[in-house]
Amino acid sequence: MNDLKKTLTPAFIALAIAFAIASVVLLVSGHSPLTAYRAMWKNFATLDGVVTSINVGARYYIAAIAIAVALKMNLFNIGTNGQYQLGAMFGAVVGAAVKLPAPLHVALTLSVAFAAGAVWAALVAVLHNTRNVHPVVAAIMLNGVASSVITYLMQSTWTNFKNPALKEYGSTRPIPRSGQLPVWKIGSSVLQSYVLLAVAVGIGFYLLVYRTRFGFDLRASGGNPGAARSSGVDPKRMVLITLAISGGVAGLIGMGIVLSSNDQLTYGDRFPGALGFTGIGIALLGRNHPAGVAAAAFLWAALDQGARGLVTVNITGEIAVILQGALLFIAVIVYAVWERKFLAATIRDAAARTAAARQEAAAA
């Protein structure tokens, strides 16, 4: 209970400050914050609003977990943007090309997406391990290369397919029925089973990081690289495996869009391009913890959803982006301050309890 309070308090402080900032921005631009928030709430708090937030939140969640895995060892995988696009494209191409029974078909498609992301992220690790190239810079360059590679591959005949339904866009062939992830109709809304994939990724993340030897090595490498190395962890191998896992998970970010019948079922020009960066924000907001990230992902998606209601009151929806940005920036500050305060308290507390124990021992 106490632990939960310790974790949640800074998040709420950050949230309050962020809303305060957004309110000031709204006031300055001549709008009533109350009207804005009411309109946002109204657009979110419907069945469709919630289901959409869950669908979108699931994809944000996977995007954030991809970042969080690497951040556990203080590695910034800023290249998830390129990794998930490559994953989605290769997944979509392979998924449309093969004929297999349903579960195998889906499994193959997801594996291809995972592998494409993993390989692309592993390139960053190789450049870092062998040539000492800064991983953030390498990943950004590879994002640039990835978009060129995708453009190039999408020009060739084996990927490009003029979908008659979407004449003006280039895209891959649509995924056949056996390759799709099931969707469930709830009233007029559609819930994607991709959400279950997100749950599985979250559980897998938790077990891997907090329960296994690999996770121990991972966290030790993040906590103190020198000590991890002295304890027998090979840092280069760790960087390679961790980035590959991170990139693989990133490869799954777009698969809800590619594999759900209420969504695009293809990879193409209309595919969203910046989910990777959103994932970074959410991972930081959720403090890299599987539950925290889940809350942050849902919140982020809910803000997106709410923002679409702002047109009804003549306010620009971009206020949600301001809100998200401010929240992120304030949160990292509040978390850092809170953590230091918490550490100081831990040290004080430990010293006091040790002293008390010693006195007791002396008295006895």
Nearest Cα to 67, choosing from 235, 201, 163? Answer: 201
Residues 79-118 that bind another protein (CB under 8 A): none
CB of residue 315 to another protein, shortest distance in Å:
10
354 in contact with another protein (CB under 8 A): yes
Contacts of 336 (CB under 8 A, 6+ apart): none
The answer to whether the CB of 248 falls within 8 A of the CB of 114 is yes
Instruction: Find the part of the chain contacting another protein (CB under 8 A) among 110-118, 130-138, 182-190, 255-263.
Output: 130-138
Residues 243-282 that bind another protein (CB under 8 A): 277-278, 280-281
Residues 188-227 that bind another protein (CB under 8 A): 211-217, 219-220, 223-224, 226-227
H/E segment holding residue 183? strand 183-186
- Tokens representing 169 are 């866009």
CB of residue 147 to another protein, shortest distance in Å:
8
CB of residue 287 to another protein, shortest distance in Å:
11
**C-alpha–C-alpha distance, residues 42 and 311, integer Å:** 12
CB of residue 77 to another protein, shortest distance in Å:
11
Residues 60-79 that bind another protein (CB under 8 A): 76, 78
Amino acid (one-letter) located at 302? A
- Cβ–Cβ contacts within 10 Å for residue 214, how many? 15
Q: Given candidates 20, 340, 341, 359, which one binds another protein under the rule CB under 8 A?
A: 340
CB of residue 327 to another protein, shortest distance in Å:
9
**C-alpha–C-alpha distance, residues 15 and 301, integer Å:** 15
Nearest 5°: phi and psi at 184? -120, 130
- Tokens representing 362 are 């002396």
Size of site (CB under 8 A) for another protein? 79
25 in contact with another protein (CB under 8 A): yes
Instruction: Find the part of the chain contacting another protein (CB under 8 A) among 56-64, 160-168, 246-254, 344-352.
Output: 344-352
312 in contact with another protein (CB under 8 A): no
CB of residue 318 to another protein, shortest distance in Å:
4
Amino acid (one-letter) located at 146? A
H/E segment holding residue 198? helix 194-211
Nearest Cα to 68, choosing from 324, 302, 279, 248? Answer: 279
**C-alpha–C-alpha distance, residues 300 and 345, integer Å:** 32
The answer to whether the CB of 184 falls within 8 A of the CB of 175 is no
Q: Given candidates 228, 238, 299, 310, which one binds another protein under the rule CB under 8 A?
A: 228
- The residue among 29 and 32 lying less far from another protein, judged by its C-beta, is 29
**C-alpha–C-alpha distance, residues 137 and 186, integer Å:** 44
End-to-end CA distance of the chain: 34
CB of residue 98 to another protein, shortest distance in Å:
26
- The residue among 110 and 150 lying less far from another protein, judged by its C-beta, is 150
DSSP 160: -
CB of residue 288 to another protein, shortest distance in Å:
10
- The residue among 104 and 227 lying less far from another protein, judged by its C-beta, is 227
**C-alpha–C-alpha distance, residues 250 and 102, integer Å:** 23
324 in contact with another protein (CB under 8 A): yes
29 in contact with another protein (CB under 8 A): yes
- Which residues are paired to 192 by β-bridges? 183
Q: Given candidates 32, 155, 312, 359, which one binds another protein under the rule CB under 8 A?
A: 155
Q: Given candidates 16, 165, 352, 359, which one binds another protein under the rule CB under 8 A?
A: 352
- The residue among 95 and 309 lying less far from another protein, judged by its C-beta, is 309
Q: Given candidates 152, 162, 312, 359, which one binds another protein under the rule CB under 8 A?
A: 152
- The residue among 162 and 211 lying less far from another protein, judged by its C-beta, is 211
Can you state the angle between helices 135-155 and 80-97, rounded to 10 degrees? 30
